[in-house]
Structure 1
């Protein structure tokens, strides 16, 4: 690989990963890569395979079946990468040649889910001295764990779905009647640290409850049991650092029991996105203010998507906060910003600019006495 052209910066795009959202990440990468301004940036493409190995990819052929959501996968590669910690020009080494890759100025990770969105890769990029798009280590970790998200939001006085947290070690002793009495029926059961509705079940009775727990505990050691909120599903996109902006609101109209993985990514036409959502101005303004407050209190930066329930009584409840939202062709985050006047290429450019701005601000923090 050649050095970046004079006047350009080098952008690393990370995609794939070890999580259940590997294929979603691959689809997101296509749109991000296509939207990058090649007059400003040269690219280093890093595909993370399902074993967690970083591979160096060529843009022309890094994906197999890129147009088929059910079969999309990373092209096989043996160009594995090693990393060199510290403020060092040799951040990434091509193991096959032993040579250093060109220094990366900024990274755009679309590694959705565990081992990508949970603070682990963010910590590694910090150690490598590479600025990156998205929240820092703490904000990423807190938002990935839905239990911790709720705890922080509740402490700040922000509205969240009522829930009970269960751990695998205690699951055998769980009393369904007690939980149903506390939270009502139906219930939703979900892994604490998964995304894209993976492992989520709707529960109506004791038999379904035990089966749903078994499913959820295959994806995480900690599970949330939540009250099923009868309300509209509203989403907002947040963009910024110290003074974050919030997009128009969008609404999800899912034809399935809930907005499940297949509905989101595989079954075309099964979910409708209404952008902007048909809301009274006062309700829309309140949703956007709460989204901004949640973004700040959770330690987010650069970007996040904040999802809500809106009940018939106009009660606003935060459902979850996603720090690496989807960037597929049907994903809500870029669509919300497009409806707010920021098209895909300008959105990607703005996200990269915000990442570099945050890194410059962080450089002012003293690290010695």
Structure 2
């Protein structure tokens, strides 16, 4: 473990996902220290990154979720400093953070992703809602283009709820993604290196897997093994790895998907710095694959270059 040198665990930040990042960072820091790594926690909110080199850090473990940590900004700063770091490079982080560009890439490559439209702040008018509802012919998911943890995301079923949902999403982003609602089961596949870990099926009593279901509800179920046949699990893993690579993501992360009633898979998004508390989805999948939390965080750190 001494070969890692002095490791900075970067967490917190200033984004809407700050509280989740603080919990993830504390868990990663504790896991690395239990494994014998010389790890130190740093809240990046207001922290001058140049201090990392001044303080003799040899590499960084990024656990800053959302803007400023998962969008390529922090990765670019660390590259400028010449400090090795975990996870995706600048392009992969920035592209995966942008739900709209991610879907455009997938669509271009022929990877399955639900029909979508984009609305822009300052251009959307309330009277546009009727045409959008007619286009999708059913419920619509409304998502800020560059937020995670389902922040600002709403399911709209009629004109008034669609207008309200778009206005709510505009509080977080100037571009908003409208996506066809998929009636089916939600799955998530964690990626470690170029390997898909066992898939997790998510089951919630909420209308969809929203922020409350992720972090506040006590009745959300995480099924792993997820109940798929070996062939279907292999196909799901292959699709997830392909989707991950398509947006230049690397190192580790998570791909979220839906499976509709016909058995068709639909890609939702890529997370390049997913939650890392000991009860988060990536550690759950790693445990089923035979990796302890300590082994998981060390495996991620090993890829810092």
TM category (shorter chain) comes to over 0.9
The whole-number CA distance in structure 1 between the counterparts of 2:210 and 2:97 is 18
Q: Specify the alignment match of 1:25 in structure 2.
A: 21
Which of 115, 125, 128 is residue 175 of structure 1 equivalent to? 128
| 1:329 correspondence with 2:250 | no
Q: 1:8 to 1:122 in 2, by over 3 A?
A: closer
Please state how far the C-alpha of 1:200 moved relative to its aligned partner: 0.6
Q: What secondary structure sits across from 1:108 in the alignment? A: strand
Summarize deviations over 1:289-319 as a string: whole Å, max 9, x none: 0011111111111111011101121100001
Alignment of 1:309-320 (within 5 A): 309-320=258-269
Normalising by structure 1, what TM-score? Answer: 0.79
Q: Specify the alignment match of 2:108 in structure 1.
A: 155
Q: What secondary structure sits across from 1:11 in the alignment? A: strand
Please state how far the C-alpha of 1:21 moved relative to its aligned partner: 0.4
Which of 25, 32, 37 is residue 36 of structure 1 equivalent to? 32
Alignment of 1:240-319 (within 5 A): 240=193, 244-267=194-217, 269-319=218-268
The answer to whether the Cα contact below 8 Å between 1:8 and 1:39 also exists between their aligned partners in 2 is no
The answer to whether the Cα contact below 8 Å between 1:13 and 1:107 also exists between their aligned partners in 2 is yes
Q: 1:274 to 1:172 in 2, by over 3 A?
A: same
Summarize deviations over 1:70-129 as a string: whole Å, max 9, x none: xxxxxxxxxxx4517xxxxxx54xxxxxxx31x222111111011110000010011111
The answer to whether the Cα contact below 8 Å between 1:238 and 1:305 also exists between their aligned partners in 2 is yes
Q: Specify the alignment match of 1:65 in structure 2.
A: none
Q: Which has the higher contact order (CA 8 A, sep 6+)?
A: 2
The whole-number CA distance in structure 2 between the counterparts of 1:110 and 1:252 is 23
Please state how far the C-alpha of 1:48 moved relative to its aligned partner: 2.3
The answer to whether the Cα contact below 8 Å between 1:8 and 1:40 also exists between their aligned partners in 2 is no
Summarize deviations over 1:246-292 as a string: whole Å, max 9, x none: 1111100011111111221122x231101110112221111100011
The answer to whether the Cα contact below 8 Å between 2:98 and 2:146 also exists between their aligned partners in 1 is yes
Normalized per residue, which structure has more helix? 2
The whole-number CA distance in structure 2 between the counterparts of 1:263 and 1:29 is 21
The answer to whether the Cα contact below 8 Å between 2:87 and 2:272 also exists between their aligned partners in 1 is yes
Larger radius of gyration: 1
Q: What secondary structure sits across from 1:282 in the alignment? A: helix
Q: 1:7 to 1:150 in 2, by over 3 A?
A: closer
| 1:186 correspondence with 2:182 | no
The answer to whether the Cα contact below 8 Å between 1:125 and 1:131 also exists between their aligned partners in 2 is yes
Query: Root-mean-square deviation (CA), in Å?
Result: 1.7
The answer to whether the Cα contact below 8 Å between 2:189 and 2:237 also exists between their aligned partners in 1 is yes
Paired residues, what number? 305
Q: 1:15 to 1:7 in 2, by over 3 A?
A: closer
Q: Specify the alignment match of 2:6 in structure 1.
A: 10
Structure 1: any 5+ residue segments left out of the alignment? 55-80, 85-90, 93-99, 360-369
The whole-number CA distance in structure 2 between the counterparts of 1:263 and 1:106 is 34
Q: Specify the alignment match of 1:130 in structure 2.
A: 83
The whole-number CA distance in structure 1 between the counterparts of 2:39 and 2:298 is 14
Q: 1:7 to 1:302 in 2, by over 3 A?
A: closer
Q: What secondary structure sits across from 2:252 in the alignment? A: strand
Q: What secondary structure sits across from 1:36 in the alignment? A: helix
Q: What secondary structure sits across from 1:309 in the alignment? A: strand
Please state how far the C-alpha of 1:41 moved relative to its aligned partner: 2.5
Q: What secondary structure sits across from 1:314 in the alignment? A: coil
